Structure 1
Amino acid sequence: MFSLFKKKKATLHSPTTGMLIPLSQVSDPVFAEGMMGPGLAIEPTIAEIYAPVEGTITTIFPTKHAIGVKAKNGKDILLHIGIDTVELNGEGFDIHVKEGDKVSPDTLLARVDHQLLKAKGKASTLMVLFPEEKELPSVQERSITAKEEIFSLD
C-alpha cells in the first residue's frame, strides 16, 4: 500500500552520441545562462536522437527543431536541436514521432542532417532542458553514447 505514495523516479539517458558538456558551455547565452531552465548539452557525432526517458511526446515544434517529452515521473524535458535552427523552418530535421506517442530510450525521435546545419552556419549542439526545475545534478565534460544513463531524475 505504501508503495503508492513513493515518488516515481526516472532515469535520464543520453539522446545521442557525442561530447556531453555543461549547459554553461553552450555558445548561446539564452541556454548557457539557464534562461530556458537548467540542463545539459551534447555536441553530437551521429544523426540520431533518441528519447532521453520513458514518457510521452508532448510537443513537436512546427519547425521541428524542438521536441517536448513528459517523463513517467511527471518531469518536463525539452530537447532543443541546434542553435538558431528555428530559422531553418524544419529543413534538416526528420521527425519520427508524433505528439502523444509513448517513448523509451530505444525510441528514435529524429534524425538531423548535421552537414546541412553546418552549411547553413548553425551549430548542431543538442540541449536537454528542464524548464520547470530549479537545478539538476552537475555534469562533467566527457564522451557519451546514445542511450547511456546520465543521472536519475527525482
Structure 2
Amino acid sequence: MLKSLFGKKEKVTKESIFAPLTGKLLDIEEVPDPVFSQKLMGEGMAIEPTEGVIVAPIDGQVIQVFHTKHAIGLRSQTGLELLIHIGLETVSMNGDGFDVHVKEGQKVKVGDPLITADLSLIREKAASTITPIVITNSDILENITKVSSGKVIKGTSNILDVKVK
C-alpha cells in the first residue's frame, strides 16, 4: 500500500499541441524558408496568421524569449521543446512590432497570451507573416499526427498529437 502512495508517478508521454495563432494551418514543408521546410530545426507545422496574438500551444514553461522578441521557446510536461518563430526574416526587426507578455521560467497553460505581433508591420518589414511551430527536439518523438487542416483558432484548435519515447 505504501508503495502505491509513494511510488513513482507515471511519466506523461502523449500530448496535444494547439494552434498558437488564428489563421490558416500549413504543413512545415510549405514554409518558404528551407531551414523550416526541410525540417532542419525539427518537425512541426506553420500558420499564416489572420491576427497577431500568439498564445501558448501547450501547458509548460517558457524556456527562451529571444531578445529580438520574434521567437519564443517552450518546454511541455513531456519534455517536448517548441519554438514559435513569428514570421520569416523578422529577426532584423529588432523587436519592433512585438510585445512580449511572459518571461523566461514562467509557467503557461494552453491559451495564455505569449506575444502580440503587429502583422501589418511584419508584412512591411519582413519576408512573411507565416509562423512556424517547430519541435526542436524531434528526436524524442515516437509518433506525430497532424490533427487539423485549413483554418485554426488560437488556443482551441488541436493541430498535432504527439507521443514521446
Q: TM class by shorter-chain length?
A: over 0.9
Structure of greater relative contact order (alpha carbons < 8 Å, 6+ residues apart): 1
Within 1, Cα distance between the matches of 2:42 and 2:108?
Answer: 22
Question: Does the CA-based 8 Å contact 1:22-1:139 persist in structure 2?
Answer: no
* CA deviation string 1:69-96 (max 9, x = no partner): 0001111111111101011111111110
Name the TM-score, length of structure 2 as normaliser.
Answer: 0.86
Name the TM-score, length of structure 1 as normaliser.
Answer: 0.92
How far off is 1:6 after superposition?
Answer: 4.2
Gaps in structure 1 of 5+ consecutive residues:
none
Within 2, Cα distance between the matches of 1:121 and 1:6?
Answer: 41
Provide the aligned length of Structure 1 versus Structure 2. Answer: 154
Match of 1:143 among 147, 151, 157: 151
Aligned to 2:62: 57
Gaps in structure 2 of 5+ consecutive residues:
none
Question: Does the CA-based 8 Å contact 1:57-1:98 persist in structure 2?
Answer: yes
How far off is 1:10 after superposition?
Answer: 2.4
Q: Residues 9 and 138 (structure 1 numbering): CA distance in 2 closer, same or farther, change over 3 Å?
A: closer
Local SS of the residue matching 1:98: coil
Within 1, Cα distance between the matches of 2:126 and 2:161?
Answer: 35
Percentage of identical aligned residues: 36
Within 2, Cα distance between the matches of 1:151 and 1:25?
Answer: 16
The two structures, once aligned, show a CA RMSD in angstroms of: 1.7
Q: Residues 10 and 3 (structure 1 numbering): CA distance in 2 closer, same or farther, change over 3 Å?
A: farther
Of structures 1 and 2, the larger Rg is shown by 2
1:102 aligns with 2:107: yes
